Structure 1
Amino acid sequence: MPSAPPAAPVAVIGMHRSGTSCLAGCLEDLGLNLGEVNTAAPHNKKGNRENPRFWPIHDAVLARVGAAWDDPPGEPIAWTRDEIAALRAVLADYDALPRPWGFKDPRATLLLDGWFEALPELRLTASIRHPLAVAGSLAARNGFDRERSLQIWSAYNRAVLRWRDLTGLAVIDYDAPDYEARVRTVAAALGLDATAPMPFRAEELNHQRIADPAPPSVADLWAALQDAAR
């Protein structure tokens, strides 16, 4: 995929409960314009930094193929003409934002083929998190059992690796000890102010800290993600 200009839009992708809100919020601190987004939510004290207008579009595309955010499709989805038109109608509002602007919705991780049809210049960055931390967070928020959570986690993160192979996107581990430095490196590559204050990240909001190895069923995938984040 050809390189995009420095002012091209940015998508923050990754599995739900994997630090995508934190990454989007930190990049916003450094100058990424997110537009009108949620700034407070029951399970995100500082908000999930998402524009709710994207949710029904993403949900409709997933539902058309019998999938959902928590029942991911087994392969990439080709969007219909009407779905692309619906996305472009929301994106029209972003024309008034200073560049670069960005967005975050974990569902988009599964749906980027349509996004690239609408925005060929789109740039990506991804957040990853230990599978057991994500499973713990989904248990607390949604009541999911571990097996179900790991299956969902796997589908999203296989998509992350697919787009890593296609675009060379930067992958950041939410629990990396040098998280701030990594985010600033990504910000500089995106044309943001990597030296600006970055108060969004707050360690006290991380309620799932895992030191255990990944379960065997996802160990190879987790190892590949960690390699991508180095």
Structure 2
Amino acid sequence: MSGAPVVVIGMHRSGTSCLAGCLQDLGLNLGEVNTAAPHNKKGNREDPRLWVVHDAVLSRVGAAWDRPPTEPVAWTVEEKAALKAVLAEYEAVPRPWGFKDPRATVLLDGWLEVLPELRLTASIRHPLAVAGSLAARNGFSLEQSLEIWAAYNRAVLGWRSRMPVAVVDYDAPDYEARVRAMAAALGLPSERPMPFRDGELNHQAVTSPPPPEATALWDALRAAAR
């Protein structure tokens, strides 16, 4: 299983970049990814070539990253061919390898047709922290942010009901230990230094309970991360 690719999924602004960066510190090879961005001091650790593939699939079904589909998305032959063309360039990436893009959370049906051995990890985060981050970056309202947060995280739990998904809470006090345990389960050298994790990256610490409409989903997500 050590050669099977790893994907980091989860809602945008939910610590997926941190999880990908930490797993990269611990030996997961991500290929050519962004290592700096205006709203990610250390980069979002994403491959822009995969954005193009994912955005095209989302656009075809009338969706977007901030208007996620609510039903499974069947990929066309052409879309799977476009994905395979990008993945062909990953042949040169040392193993173990993986990728991260929150969009994949709602598009994994096509990925699993191309790479059925894919292994899933996910990062979750308090809905109000995500909403605060989206308000700062995108100017989204609380209602809009919570709707997007719910759609992505329902997808995370949906995948977890079908296959193993290692879930970590971005704000867990023992985050480092949890990520190292995740890495060990993935066959990565979990004892390596993990400098990517940086408390200065978290600008949305939240101590308030989630809004009532998000409580049940947040409780389910926290249970999945235990």
Q: State the TM-score, normalizing by the size of structure 2.
A: 0.99
| CA distance in structure 2 between the aligned counterparts of 1:137 and 1:101, rounded to whole angstroms | 29
- Out of 68, 73, 77, the position equivalent to 2:73 is 77
Quick check: 1:21 aligned with 2:8? no
- Alignment match, 1:58: 54
Structure 1, 58-67 or 127-136: larger mean CA deviation: 58-67
Quick check: 1:12 aligned with 2:8? yes
What are the superposed Cα offsets for residues 159-217 of structure 1, whole Å, 9 maximum, x if unpaired? Answer: 00011111121100000000000000000011100000000010011000001111001
- Alignment match, 1:87: 83
Flag as ranges the 4+ runs of structure 1 deviating above 6 A. Answer: none
Q: Would you say the 8 A contact 1:7–1:191 is kept in 2?
A: no
- Alignment match, 1:130: 126
Q: Would you say the 8 A contact 1:40–1:48 is kept in 2?
A: yes
Q: Would you say the 8 A contact 1:50–1:103 is kept in 2?
A: yes
- Out of 186, 190, 195, the position equivalent to 1:194 is 190
- Alignment match, 1:142: 138
- Alignment match, 1:223: 219
Identity of aligned residues (%): 76
What are the superposed Cα offsets for residues 103-157 of structure 1, whole Å, 9 maximum, x if unpaired? Answer: 0000000000000011011101000000000000000000000000000000000
| CA distance in structure 1 between the aligned counterparts of 2:164 and 2:220, rounded to whole angstroms | 14
2:104 maps to a residue whose letter is: A
SS at match of 2:8: strand
- Alignment match, 2:36: 40
Where does structure 2 lack aligned partners over 5 or more consecutive residues? none
1:227 maps to a residue whose letter is: A
What are the superposed Cα offsets for residues 86-119 of structure 1, whole Å, 9 maximum, x if unpaired? Answer: 0000000111111110100000000000000110
- Alignment match, 2:180: 184
Q: Would you say the 8 A contact 1:138–1:144 is kept in 2?
A: yes
What are the superposed Cα offsets for residues 32-83 of structure 1, whole Å, 9 maximum, x if unpaired? Answer: 0000000000000000000000001101101111111000111110000000
| CA distance in structure 2 between the aligned counterparts of 1:55 and 1:204, rounded to whole angstroms | 27
| CA distance in structure 2 between the aligned counterparts of 1:168 and 1:91, rounded to whole angstroms | 23
SS at match of 1:166: coil
Quick check: 1:117 aligned with 2:113? yes
Aligned length in residues: 226
CA RMSD of aligned residues (A): 0.5
SS at match of 2:48: coil
1:115 maps to a residue whose letter is: W
Q: State the TM-score, normalizing by the size of structure 1.
A: 0.97
2:38 maps to a residue whose letter is: P
